[in-house]
Amino acid sequence: VDLFDGANATLNYTVTATRDNGTPGTWGVTGVISVTNPHPVDSIALTGAVVDVIEGGVNASVSCPASVGPGATVTCTYNALLPNNTTRQNTATLTLFGIDYPAYADIDFAGVLPTEVNASLTVNDDYSQAGSPWTFTASSAPETYSRSVDCSNFTEQSYTNGVAGTTVTNTASATQQSGEQLSQSANVALTCYRPSVSKTAVPSHVITYTWDITKTADVAQVDLFDGDGQTVNYTIEAVRDGGTPGSWSASGTVTIVNPNPSETIPVAAVADELSGGFGAVALDCSGATVVPAASNGNPGSLACSYAVTLPDGSSRTNTATVTLYGRSYSGTADVVFNPNAANTVNDSLTVTDTIAGPWTFGTSGSQSYGRPLTCADVFGQVDYGSDGQISTDLPNTAVGRGDNDVLLDQDSETVTLTCYRPLVSKDATTSYTRTFDWTVSKVVAPSRLDLFDGETATVTYTIDV
In a domain, 242, yes or no: yes
- C-beta of residue 382 within 8 angstroms of C-beta of residue 184: no
In a domain, 7, yes or no: yes
User: Strand pairing of 343-345 and 202-208?
Assistant: parallel
- C-beta of residue 234 within 8 angstroms of C-beta of residue 396: yes
* pLDDT score at 291: 98
How many beta carbons lie within 10 A of that of residue 117, not counting itself? 12
Among 162, 193, 224, the domain-final residue is 193
In a domain, 232, yes or no: yes
- Chain centroid, CA 30 distance in Å: 84
- The residues, ordered by sequence, that sit 6+ positions from 454 with a Cβ below 8 Å of its Cβ are none
378 secondary structure, DSSP code: H
Where do the DSSP E strands lie in 55-98?
Answer: 58-59, 61-63, 67-68, 73-82, 88-96
Among 79, 107, 135, the domain-final residue is 107
Domain co-membership, 35 together with 98:
yes
Domain co-membership, 272 together with 385:
yes
Domain co-membership, 427 together with 289:
yes
CA distance 369 to 366: 10
Domain co-membership, 159 together with 225:
no
Backbone angles phi, psi at 340, to 5 degrees: -75, -15
- Residues of the chain whose pLDDT is less than 50? none
Backbone angles phi, psi at 157, to 5 degrees: -75, -15
Domain co-membership, 228 together with 177:
no
* pLDDT score at 300: 97
Domain co-membership, 100 together with 174:
no
Domain co-membership, 423 together with 320:
yes
* pLDDT score at 444: 84
Domain co-membership, 309 together with 264:
yes
State the amino acid at position 24 in one-letter form.
P
Domain co-membership, 94 together with 241:
no
How many structural domains does the chain have?
3
User: Strand pairing of 181-185 and 270-274?
Assistant: unpaired
In a domain, 430, yes or no: yes
pLDDT digits (tens, 9 = 90+) for 364-420: 999 999 999 999 999 998 889 889 999 999 999 999 999 999 999 999 999 999 999
* pLDDT score at 453: 86
Among 51, 74, 107, the domain-final residue is 107
Cis peptide leading into residue 446 (ω within 30°): yes
Domain co-membership, 343 together with 258:
yes
CA distance 420 to 395: 20
CA distance 353 to 170: 94
Coil, helix or strand for 379?
Answer: helix
CA distance 430 to 193: 132
In a domain, 445, yes or no: no
The CATH number of whichever domain residue 49 belongs to comes to 2.60.40.10
- Chain centroid, CA 120 distance in Å: 60
How many beta carbons lie within 10 A of that of residue 396, not counting itself? 19
Domain co-membership, 412 together with 365:
yes
Cis peptide leading into residue 358 (ω within 30°): yes
- C-beta of residue 315 within 8 angstroms of C-beta of residue 336: yes
- The residues, ordered by sequence, that sit 6+ positions from 267 with a Cβ below 8 Å of its Cβ are 283, 285, 288, 289, 290, 291, 302, 304
- C-beta of residue 419 within 8 angstroms of C-beta of residue 389: yes
Q: Evaluate if pTM is beyond 0.75.
A: no
- The residues, ordered by sequence, that sit 6+ positions from 431 with a Cβ below 8 Å of its Cβ are none
In a domain, 359, yes or no: yes
In a domain, 441, yes or no: no
pLDDT digits (tens, 9 = 90+) for 142-167: 999 999 999 999 999 999 999 999 99
CA distance 24 to 27: 8
In a domain, 418, yes or no: yes
Environment class of residue 106 by beta-carbon count within 10 Å: exposed (0-12), middle (13-18) or buried (19+)? exposed
Domain co-membership, 257 together with 278:
yes
Environment class of residue 190 by beta-carbon count within 10 Å: exposed (0-12), middle (13-18) or buried (19+)? buried
Give residue 282's domain range: 200-436
* pLDDT score at 227: 93
